[in-house]
Structure 1
Amino acid sequence: MSIVTGIRSAVLSDVVSIAKIHVACWREVYSFMPKEVQAKRDYKFRLDQWLRWFDALPNDEALFVLLDIDEVVGFAVAKANKDPDIDVLGEFHACYILPHYRGGQAGPVAMMALAEFLRDNGLWPACVWAFKHNPYRRIYPAIGCKPEVFRDRHIAGFALPEIGYRAPDYPVLMKRLNRMCVSAAQRQTESLQTPHPRLLVHG
């Protein structure tokens, strides 16, 4: 597992990296989706999507990129909630991270940045949507999110089951995310301090 070294607001020059990560993560994490859906969400679609975002720069949305030194290895989006099916003000809209950066601090750090933006901009309480068959949605109950809406999302003519979660109170969420960050840092430190068996030198 590689380490994320920072997070910052995205800039236009990040758009190619964001689009590539978006496509790669959809194809890997959402491998359960029909090929027709994936074909509709190709690189050109994502590049156009994010170019439009930078052109509009909506003031009720935030786009962050996760970094390994200067390389963009993930991105995360928060926005005002405009979905009438769940009664909250904000939404954790997306968080996509390259596979070898998952499982450490990357996810919690991204979620904390999104939560802070939503809270500071009067967009709390908040929700997060996840496809039912997304293997990574287990993180949401782990940080206190409660399933509230069960429905199908229609993409390219296909009905894909999804779940809408209500985020816990802001202090509760941040405490749990911070705890996850600390735990991930401790695991990383222990991993670096533990000699690999094949590297042991016997006198």
Structure 2
Amino acid sequence: MSTTHDDEPPSAWPPPSVPDTVFHYSDDGNISRFAPHVPQTNPSHPPAVWAMDEAHSPLYWFPQRCPRISVWANDEAQQATMTETFGTDASRICAAESRWLDGVRHGQVYRYTFDAAQFAPWPEAHGQYISEEVVHPRSVEALDDLLMLHAAAEVELRFTPTLGTLMNQMLASGLPFGFVRIRDARR
């Protein structure tokens, strides 16, 4: 699960366009049925199945247990802030702890593709969708070159001993961001 922040709340008008497909990423390539569940990190949330759109997928091109963070720009003004704050021309940065480099370099994740009509936008995070029903994937694909996925998508990928300082910069920037598995990050 990730937490995101954008300048406009998810209920802003006009509503974002709904994609045709959404994705779920897992270390397990043998899931034929996704049943709603209550996430450990959000025990008050009703049972659901989570998926994300393509634009937000780079944050999931990591081994499942890898703590990672991301910040991105959606327009020219946000890109100017990205460039000034993070010293990059990339429109998205993803970062993980250095101890996960080999896991990313040699890791494999599976991308499950779903019909987006089975899901509704999750109002707590941009680019994420939920279903309260059992869903079955259209297809599953092994992704085994995670570094190349980031490079091909022009995502700046960073590795750092700890995520704290960069995470604080992301929060202070006012840009949209996402954090995954932070409870497993080094303190």
Give the TM-score normalised by the residue count of structure 2: 0.29
Select the structure that is richer in helix. Answer: 1
**Higher RCO by CA contacts (8 Å cutoff, separation 6 or greater):** 2
TM-score between both structures, scaled by the size of structure 1: 0.28
